[in-house]
Amino acid sequence: MKADSLPKRIRLKILFPAMAWLPEKIAYALANLIGWYDWRTKQSERSAIEKALHSIPVFGDRDITLWSRRYYQMMARDTLDCFRMPNFTPGNTNRLIRVNNAEALAAAKAAGNGVIMVISHFGRFFMLGPGLKFSGLEFGMLTTDVDERNPHYDTIGRWYINTKLHNTQLFSRGTWITIGDDHRRIYRALREGEIMLIALDGMESNSSSRILFPFLGGILSLPEGIVRIAATTGAKLVYAATVDHGYGVEINIYGLPDDPRQAMGAAVGILERDIIARPWHWWQWTGLGVLWQTETKQE
């Protein structure tokens, strides 16, 4: 166990599950306190995050230290969300989760070829599950492997991500596919008209086929998979971003162009705009080099 953090097993199996039973404001205030503690104690990880933030040309001399603190507090609230989800209802989340422009998703679904809801590792995006469900929209999802095929998780980490995804799946009757599964299942689900959530900024793809986009003063390199799947199936693309609103979240849904490559470009543009507004919401700072590089390196 690392001396600079709460023991992982106690945190995930005792502390946060107990906090989930507390009144909402008290629970999230405690989560913010845990996030502050993590910010103070996880020095090595924090340094890597702040170094990544400093590397972004468009940020200049803005307050990187404040952003890193807010990052840890947001991540602690996300952990609390996981354990509160099984008790979510339309009644007790009507002020916690707000969905904007759900009609864009409904219109895309009405086209009849399935929908790829493009998401990113931004904000408390797992709240999409209850948000979509309580808006009357069923969905499926493509996620990381959550078993022994994924070497990045230790035993407690694997238990946690399994719990998190199973709790998200409580709000969906759609197909749950992992990246290690037969990818034909994705095409089948879309052809059956499902809404499939797929993250554009995952870091586990081994695809050699990449698409490059201008991003944050450098170049973002993404797998071509979403574009290829949409082109093959005729699925419509929409983008969803989850941003903090007090202790709760707002889920903003955006229609995208019909052309899959143009749609991805538009989604990347929305993500870039959101990161500039709320840099602490993006999860991928610790692995920035996998996805992003300066234009100088690209040359």
- The amino acid present at 21, given as its one-letter code, is W
- Give SS3 for 92: coil
Which whole number is the average pLDDT over 16-36?
A: 98
pLDDT of residue 5: 45
Quick count: other Cβ atoms within 10 Å of Cβ 168?
A: 24
Residue 4 has pLDDT above 60, yes or no: no
pLDDT at residue 30, as a whole number: 98
Q: What is the dihedral of CA 35, 39, 42, 45, to 10 degrees?
A: 110
Q: What is the pLDDT of residues 218-227, one digit of tens each?
A: 999 999 999 9
Give the pLDDT confidence score for residue 2 in this predicted structure. Answer: 39
- The HSE-up count of residue 30 (CA atoms within 13 Å, CB side) is 17
Share of the chain above pLDDT 90, in %: 83
CA pair distance 97, 184, nearest whole angstrom: 33
pLDDT value at position 280? Answer: 98
What is the predicted pLDDT for the residue at 298?
54
pTM, 2 dp? 0.93
Do the Cβ atoms of 254 and 118 come closer than 8 Å?
A: no
Q: What is the mean pLDDT of residues 148-156?
A: 79
pLDDT tens digits, one per residue of 73-83? 999 999 999 99
**Where do the DSSP E strands lie in the chain?**
97-100, 115-119, 140-143, 176-178, 195-199, 210-215, 218-223, 236-245, 248-255, 292-294
Q: Average model confidence (pLDDT) for the chain?
A: 93
Residue-level pLDDT at 16: 98
Give CA–CA dist 237/50, Å, rounded: 33
Query: Where residue 206 falls among pLDDT bands split at 50, 70, 90?
Result: low
Per-residue pLDDT for 43 more than 90?
A: yes
Q: How confident is the model at residue 1 (pLDDT cuts 50, 70, 90)?
A: very low
Q: How confident is the model at residue 294 (pLDDT cuts 50, 70, 90)?
A: confident
- pLDDT in the model for residue 232: 97
